[in-house]
Chains A and B, each alone.
Chain A
Amino acid sequence: MFSDYSMSELGAIFAMQGFAGLILFSVFVLMALGLAIIFGQMGVINMAHGEFMILGAYVTYFVSNFFSAFLPGLFPAYFFVAMILAFFASGALGLLVEWSIIRHLYKRPLDTLLATWGLSLILQQFYRSVFGAREVGVTIPNWMMGSMPVTDLIEVPINGIFVMILAVSISLCVYVMMFRSRWGKQVRAINQNRVMAGAVGINTEWTDRLTFGIGCGVAGVAGSAFTMIGSTGPTSGQLYIVDTFLVVVFGGAGSILGTIASAFSISQAQSIMEFFLSGSMAKVLTLLVVVGILMIRPQGLFSLKLRK
């Protein structure tokens, strides 16, 4: 397959393909972090994760329209405002959902699956009724479009770099919050022993609510970023949900590091196979390998040793 190409061409293609793998990795990390917080730390199976992402995407759409109508001079920078607003919008919805639905179901974790699945259907129809059934086009500032030529042959998409930087910064934020902040310590304490954590004076109810809200907020930021590379419509969230769960479960619930490692291995495997095989075949093989590994290691790549 490669005999017709010169070494420099092959080198360039492999460099770009490697970069494509890194972009996919960043996308997976962004998708999965919010879910990893919620599923990993609280054990809630949030099937509406994709819909929280799409809320972020719609917020981006409105912010972009607002800027192009009222503040055209600041349009190139609107994306940062949009991401912050997306975090708060999805986070606020998350707090509301936790208060109204999830908190009644902590003792029945499997039921959260049904409840949040129902919630995802409700949210989809809500988006459809309010924003219309058709997809909306989000205008991306010019500086974020196009590619950056590195050499004559190698070109790197700018939005890919943006997604990578975003993934790294959000991962760092989550890490700091989880392992360096008071909230993170409380979350981990509750995760290890809820009753004891309550007994030593941690407000478990409020911590749960905040955790859920932050997880949803991170999903909103991811959704906002994905307007650069994907579609924004009432059901677009469904496109991400399978991959998201795959990454989180494969990484081992409860471990942020596991999530990142699993995102890395799945994305690299998939992007290498996509290059040598067809797209559908690559997906099938990736899923088969993941299923195989999970059969041998049901707890995922990394797992926390907990006293249950």
Chain B
Amino acid sequence: MSDTPSSKPPKGFSRRAMMATSAAFGAALFAPKNLLAQSYPTAEVNTTGLAVTDDTVTVGILHSITGTMAISETGSVQAEKLAIKQINDMGGVLGRKIEVIQEDGASDWPTFAEKARKLLVNDKVASVMGCWTSASRKAVLPVFEQHNGFLYYPTFYEGLEQSPNVIYTGQEATQQIIAGLDWVKETKGANTFYLLGSDYIWPRTSNKIARKHIEDFLGGKVVGEEYYPLGHTQFNSVINKIRLRKPDVIYAIVVGGSNVAFYKQLKAAGIDMTAEDPVLLTISVTEDEILGIGGENMEGAYACMKYFQSLDNPNNAAFVKAFKEMWGEDIVIGDVTQAAYLGPWLWKAAVEAAGSFDVDKVREAQIGIELDTAPEGYVKVHENHHLWSKTRVGLAKPDGQYEVVFETAELVEPDPFPEGYQ
């Protein structure tokens, strides 16, 4: 939609405040910035004709800001813009300010591909932060591989992919699923599971991994596995089936509008999640979704992912504060939003390690890059282009936040092609 970075500032975002801070930073950083840029002449850091000048570099943001997916992708756009603003305030990348060209994928996969081509071919952006659904990522993948672009993809997803042109900053399925199942087995003594999901690739692949893990490694039993069409709004039948089978755990991967219907009807049917009979464990409800579901309907459920807004560490405190300053006090931050925030920072670190904006050099330098400033804590890029990260379990509170009740002791290795799980 908008070709310029200076599009209308969203609600709660004070342009005056931003101008004041950037002016202050600009004055402080003016001298060192130019020095830095001089020591990296444009001809050397950009040998492939990317949109890099003596004092700017252009990156793309490609998310849906209209259509069904705007609900989910808005947070990612906000996080990426915050990261880019912070990087610019620190002097940019190799002494160059990041300029943003934002395109709207409009929740339509062919549009994503078309806009990706526009960003890479016409705008020659140095990298792209974007996509949310697997379908949109699959649509842009051939474009990025053909034109050798570089994409930072923020969503937790089903795995089974590893492109040289993508860095996956969210967790792949095994990272998110296995630790959570081990936890529920160990602390809740769970033996029987009811798997439930929306009917598309991510829930189905995830439940496949979950079933394997439950049956082969935990010695548990899956007493039901079911999928409902995307957008399904009537869950009374499945709730009755769950009552009949009496599982220890409901493992729910319901997404989108269905989520709201499912949790509201679960509560209305008299299943009290705070009683933990059964325990509800989900991998698809972040703080963002709870806004729509209502905290009082979600209370007592457990979610398994890598980031919660309530994480108690200094990085996260600073991140949450900056996010709220930029986008408003009422905003909530979910797992994917945090993963989207990592994109620009990982790219900056790789560019600086490579001393170049060239995609091939950045790709090489990206492997092994560490960030100890990430809100989720320390992360590191694995050679399979995914991130090492901790997995955490959160307990939903009535105020719509999660309380972290468990985190893995070590970073979990990403394993997009898990053996024995397919």
Bound pair: A and B?
yes
Tell me if A221 counts as interface (CB < 8 A to partner B).
no
Most buried by A among B68, B259, B289, B293: B68
Taking Cβ atoms with an 8 Å cutoff, the residues of B that contact A are 11, 65-68, 70-71, 74, 199, 226-229, 231-234, 236-241, 243-244, 256-257, 259-261, 264-265, 267-270, 288-296
- Chain B hits for A27, CB < 8 A: 233-234
Partner of B227, one of A128, A145, A231, A280: A280
Whether A229 and B265, one on each chain, are in contact in the complex, defined by CB atoms closer than 8 angstroms, is: yes
Looking at the assembled complex, report how far the CB atom of B287 sits from the nearest CB atom of chain A, in whole angstroms.
11
Chain A residues 111 to 127 lying within 8 A of chain B, measured CB to CB, are: 125
Partner of A280, one of B11, B228, B257, B269: B228
Most buried by B among A149, A155, A234, A280: A280
- Chain B hits for A13, CB < 8 A: 240, 243-244
A239 to B261, CA, bound (A): 11
- When C-beta atoms are compared, the residue in chain A nearest to B295 turns out to be A137
A274 to B196, CA, bound (A): 13
- When C-beta atoms are compared, the residue in chain B nearest to A129 turns out to be B66
Q: What would be 29 A-B contacts, judged by CB atoms less than 8 Å apart?
A: A5-B244, A13-B243, A16-B243, A17-B240, A24-B234, A27-B233, A27-B234, A125-B66, A128-B70, A133-B70, A133-B74, A134-B74, A134-B291, A135-B257, A140-B294, A145-B268, A157-B236, A226-B233, A228-B264, A230-B257, A230-B261, A233-B292, A235-B257, A238-B68, A239-B231, A240-B233, A271-B234, A275-B237, A282-B237
Whether B229 and A280, one on each chain, are in contact in the complex, defined by CB atoms closer than 8 angstroms, is: yes
- Chain B hits for A230, CB < 8 A: 233, 257, 260-261, 264
Tell me if A97 counts as interface (CB < 8 A to partner B).
no
A-B contact count (CB 8 A): 137
- Chain B hits for A158, CB < 8 A: 268
Interface range, A side: 35 or more
- Chain B hits for A147, CB < 8 A: 268-270
Tell me if A72 counts as interface (CB < 8 A to partner B).
no
Whether B265 and A280, one on each chain, are in contact in the complex, defined by CB atoms closer than 8 angstroms, is: no
Tell me if A278 counts as interface (CB < 8 A to partner B).
yes
Most buried by B among A134, A158, A283: A134
Partner of A271, one of B70, B231, B236, B289: B236
Partner of A229, one of B233, B243, B291, B295: B233
Q: Contacts A157-B265, A229-B261, A238-B68 given; indicate if A271 touches B237 (C-beta within 8 A).
A: yes
Whether A132 and B244, one on each chain, are in contact in the complex, defined by CB atoms closer than 8 angstroms, is: no
Looking at the assembled complex, report how far the CB atom of B390 sits from the nearest CB atom of chain A, in whole angstroms.
27
User: Top 5 closest A-B pairs, CB basis?
Assistant: A135-B292, A231-B260, A20-B236, A147-B270, A279-B228
Whether B294 and A139, one on each chain, are in contact in the complex, defined by CB atoms closer than 8 angstroms, is: yes
Most buried by A among B238, B290, B294, B296: B294
A160 to B11, CA, bound (A): 37
A20 to B292, CA, bound (A): 24
A133 to B256, CA, bound (A): 13
- Chain B hits for A170, CB < 8 A: none
Tell me if A236 counts as interface (CB < 8 A to partner B).
yes
Tell me if A255 counts as interface (CB < 8 A to partner B).
no
Binary B-proximity of A136-165 (CB < 8 A = 1, otherwise 0): 111110000111010000010111100000
- Chain B hits for A19, CB < 8 A: 236
